[in-house]
Amino acid sequence: MSAPLGYAILAIVFTVTFIWAVSSSRARTMTIPFIVGASAGLFSVQIENVHLFVPIVVAWFLARTGHKEAQIGWRVFALPIACVPIALTVFLGDLVVNPGLALQLMALAVSAALLASGWNETLRQPILAGLLCATSASSALGLMQVAHLVPTDLWHVEVSALGRPTGFYPEPDWLGMFAAIGTLLAWRLPMHPTLRMALVLVNLSALVLAFARAAWLGVGVAAVIAALVWLRTRSRDDRLMGNGKTGRLRALCLTLFALILAMGALPDLRRDLLTRLGSTLSAQSNDVSAQARVQQNRTLSSLAESAPWHGHGLSASGRVGVSGIFYSDQSTNSVASNWALGLWVDAAWLAVPFFLLVAYLALSSLRRIEGMLLIAVLVNSFFSNALFQPITWMLLGVIITTASAVGQPRSLAERSLGSTRRKTAPSPS
């Protein structure tokens, strides 16, 4: 696709979204937020390196501003302000690969701020529902790929005898991350028990069959933290599985039954799963992928030690290949697999405000589903970097306007989780 055609399509997307949002209250409060959530789950849908998430959010925000439905506060601009020093390193660094990455970073940060500015509590359900629909559709496609119902080239048959599906994404690791997001959403959001069982089964099965260890770690860490926070903040009437009518226990049992049945019928799958699971927490000498990540982190660490106070410049970490090879002349990659180490190589001390802000937002939203999703994405991004994907910024945008202390109540959409009855209604966030 030529650049003029790409920019024309982006302009059309922006214009159509804006006109639709201006003319319809339902579009502003339901349909477009649903599309925003879905676009965050489809990061590969981009034109000229611009994610569709960006023009849709900008047009939606301008329409809400025209209807006086947006409030611009200083807090929402913390994200783009924290990103400005990082973006400016493209002018200071000595190893910059892709200066355009600074524009992409700022576009995502500003989109997150605009999403926060146009936010109210009623938007949470359609946005998260859109994200859940996108991830579930991708997981369903991944399962059909494994079953050979959809013709595709499956990855890494040496890792999984069934092959690793990709769903809507270019690599199995991304299917794993978004299947993990879909699993957490299907578990937490209020919905009909039958629908919950179906969505948990589809997403959790895709998460397992993607053989994505980073996603396994991400969802595992998020689940453990969620359980600890629940134990610390629960009331006397709270139950982990709800009141028995939510479908959570049935969904979990159904998925475990399907997994046990598949492992019993397919010995190769059982062997591959146990081998992959055993190598999740330790890099074994015969594990090519894990050893490549170790080598990359070593090279990144060496590069970070040689960086000046402002880093080597945004995208410099992309010079380190997956096997730790440093490309001094040119690199087709712009980011490292490890988001934190890569950002330190790129911006060094100028990235500290961003690190602190992300840590604060994650810790302040531990009781909300957005906080759990952010933790899963950040943990995953230590191995497969999702920092420059819309999902990260959508979550940051939602959290920055709803951030609360750990002990404060969950969102309205989640208060039915684990509670049979409450003596008093919790105060809104």
Each residue's pLDDT tens digit, 388-416: 999 999 999 999 987 643 434 455 545 44
Q: Where residue 422 falls among pLDDT bands split at 50, 70, 90?
A: very low
Task: Report the distance separating Cα 130 and Cα 134, nearest Å.
Answer: 6
CB-based burial, 58-83: b 16+ in 10 Å, e otherwise:
bbbbbbbeeeebbeeeeebbbbbebb
Instruction: Tell me what percent of the residues of the chain surpass a pLDDT of 90.
Output: 53
Distance CA 233, CA 230 (A): 5
Highest mean pLDDT among 70-74, 257-261, 349-353 belongs to 349-353
Question: What are the Cα distances from residue 212, in Å, to 142, 171, 187, 257?
Answer: 13, 10, 20, 21
What residue segments make up the domains of the chain, in order of their start?
Answer: 1-70
Q: Which residue has the higher pLDDT, 331 or 236?
A: 331
Lowest-pLDDT range of 137-151, 164-178, 250-264, 371-385:
250-264
Q: d(Cα 212, Cα 214) in Å, to the nearest integer? A: 6
pLDDT band of residue 23 (cuts 50, 70, 90) is very high
Beta bridge partners of 326: 320
pLDDT in tens, 146-172: 888 887 776 666 566 677 898 999 889
pLDDT computed for residue 86 by the predictor:
97
Q: What pLDDT shows up at residue 120?
A: 86
Q: Model confidence at 427, in pLDDT bands (50, 70, 90)?
A: very low
Q: What is the pLDDT of residues 296-354, one digit of tens each?
A: 889 999 999 999 999 999 999 999 987 788 888 777 888 999 999 999 999 999 999 99
- Using CA atoms in the order 378, 44, 289, 331, what is the torsion angle rounded to 10 degrees? -100
d(CA 150, CA 110): 38
Q: What percent of the chain has pLDDT over 70?
A: 86
CA distance 356 to 343: 13
Highest mean pLDDT among 61-65, 280-284, 349-353: 349-353
pLDDT at 235: 67
Q: Is 345 exposed, middle or buried (0-12, 13-18, 19+ CB in 10 A)?
A: buried
